[in-house]
Amino acid sequence: MALVAFRFINGPRLALRRAYTPPKSIIIRAFSAIMSPPSRAVVYDRHGPPDSVTRVINLPPVEVKANDVCVKMLAAPINPSDINRIEGVYPVRPEVPAVGGYEGVGEVHSVGSAVQGLSPGDWVIPSPPSSGTWQTYVVKDQSIWHKINMEVPMEYAATVTVNPLTALRMLEDFVSLKAGDSIVQNGATSIVGQCIIQLARIRGIHSINIIRDRAGSDESKEKLKRLGADEVFSESQLEIKNVKSLLENLPEPALGFNCVGGNAATLILKFLRQGGTMVTYGGMSKKPITVSTSSFIFKDLSLRGFWLQKLMGTDKAKESRRLIDYLLDLAREGKLKYEMEVVPFDNFHIALSKALGMQGSQPKQVIKF
């Protein structure tokens, strides 16, 4: 204990008080603690319509502990699964109140005293993906962050984990495909669909693609063909008894991908060869998949499901990061591309309305911080 003199602002008199001197170790911690900058974040306190329950607020600084990395976010997308998490209908979601977002790319701002292999200025992505990327600064354990090549275009680094990785895993995980084989898919204009076309082409695999009948479908067909699609059909073109007559010299597909459901899934099944497999990874139409008895008995078709979340545990992080680096190299080389719109963070709710379909069909919305 020591006697300390205090001078009061409102008068000249001095007062003597006993001041507590904390242990030396506590003094060191107080002066050595690293804090993040204040952050702006998109938060929601309850589940519901994203345009109603989300708001942008300021968050105070947080401590960067020994094993933590503070990352200044550069960009993060608005994915359908992000919307579902806010709505409260996605199977895995953070507890509310929560910060939105699940993937993105950032620049290391500061590191804790025990962190190795990462330095300020490095570009990193959360791998496995981690909730809370819709904010200007994120502090998480070093094990979350994967260092990437800074020459990759920012918007591709921000979006590589959910959609391109889904496309790659589905091509590799279900059927052993070789050059010359064919695949068929609906939802071909989606980012997953566009990635499947390009990744298949790199492997010498033909793609048969189905799109919805809507305004601009002819333009969509041309875009997909420029990406490497062998055939692109609208759903109305396939309202014939024998869809395989449209294939000409292409082999019957061994593998199909369904992200729509309803009639669009039935069209996939019609294309598949004997013993083929259809993988469902989405249900945009919100209609069930109906399968004829003959598809099982006489064609011996297999129906499988794919959910990326199952493959994103920490025990599989090393394999996922290897595939992500491969995809990022393709993007850097211009061999993997898809349409996106980069939007300033200040315009978040405009981007959200586009992602919700309130302004018609729009490209993937990517927030730039």
* Per-residue model confidence as pLDDT tens digits over 207-261: 999 999 888 889 999 999 999 999 999 999 998 888 989 988 899 999 999 999 9
CB-count burial class (<10 Å; 0-12, 13-18, 19+) for 336:
buried
**What is the 8-class DSSP label of residue 360?**
B
pLDDT band at 83 (very low <50, low <70, confident <90, very high): very high
Tell me the mean pLDDT in the region 74-93. Answer: 96
Determine which of 15-29, 277-291, 312-326, 342-356 has the lowest per-residue pLDDT on average: 15-29
Which residue ranges make up each domain of the chain? 39-162+338-368, 175-305
- The percentage of the chain sitting over the pLDDT mark of 70, rounded to a whole number, equals 91
Q: Name the more confident of 252 and 284.
A: 252
- Residue (of 158, 153, 183) closest to 168 by Cα position: 183
Residue 93 confidence (pLDDT) above 70 = yes
Candidate CATH numbers 3.40.50.1820, 3.30.2270.10, 3.40.50.720, 3.60.20.10; the one for domain 175-305:
3.40.50.720
When the pLDDT of each residue in the chain is averaged and rounded to a whole number, the result is: 91
Q: Kind of pairing, strands 255-258 and 182-185? A: parallel
pLDDT band at 314 (very low <50, low <70, confident <90, very high): low
Contact 325, 317 (CB under 8 A): no
Q: Which H or E run includes 74?
A: strand 68-77
Rg (CA), the chain: 26
Active site residue 102: no
- The number of beta carbons lying within 10 Å of the beta carbon of residue 291 is 14
Residue 31 confidence (pLDDT) above 80 = no
Alpha helices in the chain (DSSP H): 24-32, 50-53, 80-87, 154-159, 163-173, 191-202, 217-227, 262-271, 293-297, 317-332, 348-355
Residue 12 confidence (pLDDT) above 70 = no
Tell me the mean pLDDT in the region 281-299. Answer: 91
Residue 182 confidence (pLDDT) above 90 = yes
Tell me the mean pLDDT in the region 272-299. Answer: 93
Rounded CA-CA distance 267/64 in Å is 53
Q: Name the more confident of 27 and 161.
A: 161
- 243-to-219, 253, 295 alpha-carbon distances in Å: 22, 12, 15
Q: Kind of pairing, strands 2-7 and 39-44? A: unpaired
CB-count burial class (<10 Å; 0-12, 13-18, 19+) for 2:
exposed
- Domain 39-162+338-368: give its CATH code: 3.90.180.10
The pLDDT assigned to 317 comes to: 79
**What is the 8-class DSSP label of residue 248?**
T
Residue 283 confidence (pLDDT) above 50 = yes
| pTM of the predicted protein model | 0.88
DSSP string covering 273-311, please?
A: PTT-EEEE---TT-B-----HHHHHTS--EEEE--GGGG
Given 90, 102, 137, 326, the catalytic residue: 90
